Amino acid sequence: MPKKRIDFTETVLRDAHQSLMATRMSTNDMLPIVETMDKARYFSLECWGGATFDACIRFLGEDPWQRLRDIRKRTPHTKLQMLLRGQNLLGYRHYADDVVEKFVEKSIENGIDIFRIFDALNDPRNLEASLRAVKKNKGHAQLTICYTISKVHTIQYYQDLAEQYEKMGADSICIKDMAGILTPYTAERLVKAIKAHISVPLSIHTHATSGTAQMTYLKAVESGADMIDTAISPFSEGTSQPPTETMALSISEGPFTTTLEMDKLEEIADYFKPIRDRYIESGALAPKMMGVDPKALLYQVPGGMLSNLYSQLKQAKATDRYEEVLKEVPKVRADLGFPPLVTPMSQMVGTQAVFNVLAGERYKMVPKEIKDYLRGAYGKTPVPVDEAFRRSIIGDETVITTRPADLIAAEFDQLKKELGPLAKTDEDVLTYALFPEVGKSFLEKKYQPPQDEQDSKIRIKAVL
């Protein structure tokens, strides 16, 4: 009997460094090894989306579209994959359907093959526009179940959601365990239940945060999962994914096979080791993020959220209150109707937890995003929010019950007009749409003439 092939998605170019060091890896550190990665025979390279876009323009001074094009040039044989937040795209609000369609179109044009599309609340209505756009532009739509634990998030709930996603037109389905809380035997039951009711491939994504990830992957694969996410060893474990090499070797010992070239994986690992060490020495990668914390099973905090929380507290000179903030996170989550802790909800819940702890009074300070969430602007909450709590935050404001994007008028042309002469390409407009202030500032620097040209203009003006 032929062995079943298990496909691997490599995360080192996106989620691994997002989870370990708040998405600070530069394009220059990626490109020298990308051609080798293209020869390693991965199913896909996750290299874009998530927080990479924000980090590129906000912290690294890089054009994320150029990063994608540069990676695409070097990967003729491997599918490129991105993480897309449904109607939120890569920003922190819902966008009009025309912006969603344009973003997907340009992402495919610049090199993306596979879109892992999720909604932070598992509200299928928020996936409709991006799914349509991916299908229209001949991309692969992987609809995503954000895994979390609460009184409503049962195996039956996830099974029903998977069936609904397949009916919507998903090319594959992903169980996204962003907090590393999917334990091995639960994974076995969950995968078996879902695989019994869908015909498309099933991918599993988890994090090594709690120490169960490798066991979880093995049980998931044995139960019928078709694909797993891993990170090359120097950027694996801790808040990242299990190591690619270890999982490939372990799985191949059983009734499974992979397409991976082990000699290429070794070469990739050797390349990333000094890069990891350099980021540790610079302080960008805190060794704390590379350890195991079984408390993640209690706090249900994703890897990327952990590194960002630590970064926030470091800026506030309050890292000694890290454990206190972690204990506050599940309390805030319960208040908000048990949303899965994935972007943008992870950032919103995390920021509120930090505010609650540092202010010394719960909900004394409430960000606009939390107020919008309580108004229904992000979609339907998994569990109804206590009405007294809601009103204590938003007063008498009307609560949205329809698909939030139905209330947003077409906006791409208006955004282009606002951006003015900086709108040299549709990609520039999308950068501005996602991050208006930071995006505009980035574009101003991008199109600023070279210094010698500026000096020449100043001299000419002085002469005149």
Q: For residue range 95-137, list pLDDT tens digits in order.
A: 999 999 999 999 999 999 999 999 999 999 999 999 999 999 9
Regarding whether 234 and 324 lie in a shared domain, the answer is no
> With pLDDT > 70 as the criterion, what percentage of the chain qualifies?
97
d(CA 94, CA 120): 12
Structure tokens at 325: 């903030």
| Shared-domain flag, residues 271 and 375 | no
Q: CA nearest 15: which of 7, 5, 23?
A: 23
Nearest-angstrom CA–CA distance, 218 and 197:
21
Judge if 365 and 244 occupy the same domain.
no
Tell whether 261 and 335 lie within a shared domain: no
For position 306, which CATH number holds? 1.10.472.90
296 inside domain:
no
Whether residue 240 lies inside any domain: the answer is yes
Residue 457, token pair as written in the block: 């203009």
Residue 252: C-alpha distances to residues 7, 25, 27, 338 (Å): 12, 31, 32, 38
CATH of the domain at 256: 3.20.20.70
Q: Judge if 388 and 419 occupy the same domain.
A: no
Mean pLDDT confidence for 328-351? 91
- Structural domain total, the chain: 3
Shared domain check, 164 and 87: yes
CA distance 176 to 153: 13
105-111: long-range contacts at Cβ-Cβ below 8 A with a sequence spacing of 24 or more? 105/133, 105/137, 106/65, 106/426, 106/427, 106/430, 107/48, 107/68, 107/82, 107/139, 108/134, 108/137, 108/138, 108/139, 110/65, 110/68, 110/69, 110/72, 110/427, 111/68, 111/69, 111/71, 111/72, 111/80
**Domain coverage including residue 184:** 4-287
Note the pLDDT of residue 413.
98
What is the per-residue pLDDT for 454? 54
218 domain-assigned:
yes
Query: Whole-model pTM?
Result: 0.91
Domain annotation covers residue 338: yes
Residue 98 lies in a domain: yes
Q: What is the pLDDT of residue 308?
A: 78
Task: Report the amino acid identity of residue 93.
Answer: R
pLDDT in tens, 55-96: 999 999 999 999 999 999 999 999 999 999 999 999 988 999
**447 lies in the same domain as 389:** no
- Does one domain contain both 374 and 454? no
pLDDT digits (tens, 9 = 90+) for 209-246: 999 999 999 999 999 999 999 999 999 999 999 999 99
Tell me how many degrees the CA angle 305-176-61 measures, rounded to the nearest 5.
45
Same domain, 181 and 310: no
Whether residue 217 contacts residue 202, with contact meaning beta carbons closer than 8 Å, is answered with no
Residues 241-278 pLDDT 10s: 999 999 999 999 999 999 999 999 999 999 999 999 99
Among the listed residues 179, 255, 177, the one whose alpha carbon sits nearest the alpha carbon of residue 217: 177
C-alpha span between 57 and 45 (Å, rounded): 21
234 and 378 housed in the same domain: no
C-alpha span between 160 and 199 (Å, rounded): 14
Q: Is the domain of 271 the same as that of 176?
A: yes
**pLDDT for 301:** 74
Domain endpoint, select from 287, 309, 344: 287
